[in-house]
Structure 1
Amino acid sequence: MLFLLASVVVFNVAALWIPKRLSRLEMWTNILFAAALQLVVDMYLDVKLQLYGYFNKGVDWGFLIAVCGIYPAVGTMFLNYYPLHGSLLKRTGYILGWTVASLLYEFASLKSGYFYYDGWRIWYSAMCYPLLLGLLVWHLRFIRRLKR
């Protein structure tokens, strides 16, 4: 639990401290989109299929600390510096860098005990993170089109 709480503090301080390139509307809509996506994915992979989970099997209130305390801050930091107009190589490298960082954090979460696998493998995450990060980018572009 200490690792999770320390992560919440560090990620949120970092997200608040960085210079913002996103509008408040873009941050808010992407936070809501990411939270909804995370909850749907967890509902199936954690609760229904029981492939992984937070703290204990089944629905656990502790997972809200991770979902509400970490994902909004990390999603905001990811999108804030995403090179929307960069080359394909730069955009791909950025997503791969965040994928590696996410895998390292997931591994640390496993070791700390707030996250567990029960049929899930880390290489599944390695395949999913680029897709999920790409969905965040797609959503940001979608919101910007709607704003125009």
Structure 2
Amino acid sequence: MWTLVYIFFIILNAIAYFVPKNLKKSERYSTSIFAIMFGFITDEVLSLHLNLYGYFNQGFQWQGFLSSFMYFIPINILFLNYFPVNKGILIRAKYIFFWTFFSVLFEWLILQTEYLYYNGWKLWYSAMLYPFIFLILYMNLIVVRKLINIEKG
């Protein structure tokens, strides 16, 4: 049943590839690398060291490693591509809430496929952390844009 997760990943990547882009290629590239590294570090600590959750079985799994690329990159691109940069704080908060809801729902669905398992982790932990994760992704985009502008001189 976990093949459904990969089908979703493929669809998600296709959407991220074909949607009109508001981000520059350099922004997509650098923020995607950050998102992957952020995800790997998080999984390293919470999954491999603390064994709070995992993919398929305990320990490193190539399928879980592959899924990091297939999930973190398109989510990062889609989230940042449509982030309401020039809108008020309430609109930004609603936008982050939408992505948090989507992420919690998706996490719950993949738990049903046994692709992901919990070993001490709770879904509500994820629900509490996702807003911060999305804020970190947005703050990273701000840093990337400042660095690009500095480079332009």
Would the TM-score normalized by the shorter structure come out above 0.5?
Answer: yes
Structure 1 residues 112-136: Cα deviation after superposition (integer angstroms, max 9, x where no partner): 1111100000110011100010000
TM-score (norm 1): 0.98
CA distance in 1 between counterparts of 2:67 and 2:134 reads 17
CA distance in 2 between counterparts of 1:65 and 1:109 reads 15
Q: In the alignment, which residue of structure 2 is the partner of 1:19?
A: 20
Aligned sequence identity (%): 34
- Within the alignment, does 1:134 sit opposite 2:139 as a pair? no
Counterpart amino acid of 1:68?
Answer: F
- Within the alignment, does 1:48 sit opposite 2:49 as a pair? yes
TM-score (norm 2): 0.95
CA distance in 2 between counterparts of 1:111 and 1:45 reads 20
Counterpart amino acid of 2:129?
Answer: C
Deviation at 1:71, TM superposition (A): 1.1
Counterpart amino acid of 2:34?
Answer: F
Counterpart amino acid of 2:142?
Answer: R
Contact 1:4-1:66 at 8 Å conserved across structures? no
Deviation at 1:65, TM superposition (A): 2.2
Q: In the alignment, which residue of structure 1 is the partner of 2:91?
A: 90
CA distance in 2 between counterparts of 1:46 and 1:111 reads 18
How big is the alpha-carbon RMSD for the aligned residues of Structure 1 and Structure 2? 0.7
Structure 1 residues 3-57: Cα deviation after superposition (integer angstroms, max 9, x where no partner): 2211111101100111000001000001100111111111110001000011110
Structure 1 gaps of 5+ residues are none
Q: In the alignment, which residue of structure 2 is the partner of 1:32?
A: 33
Structure 1 residues 53-76: Cα deviation after superposition (integer angstroms, max 9, x where no partner): 111101111112210111101110
- Describe how 1:81-120 pairs up with structure 2 within 5 A: 81-120=82-121
Contact 1:7-1:70 at 8 Å conserved across structures? no
CA distance in 2 between counterparts of 1:82 and 1:44 reads 28
Q: Number of residue pairs matched?
A: 148
Moved over 4 A (4+): none
Structure 2 gaps of 5+ residues are none
- Within the alignment, does 1:73 sit opposite 2:74 as a pair? yes
Counterpart amino acid of 1:66?
Answer: S
Contact 1:46-1:53 at 8 Å conserved across structures? yes
CA distance in 2 between counterparts of 1:54 and 1:12 reads 20
Counterpart amino acid of 1:13?
Answer: A
CA distance in 2 between counterparts of 1:47 and 1:83 reads 35
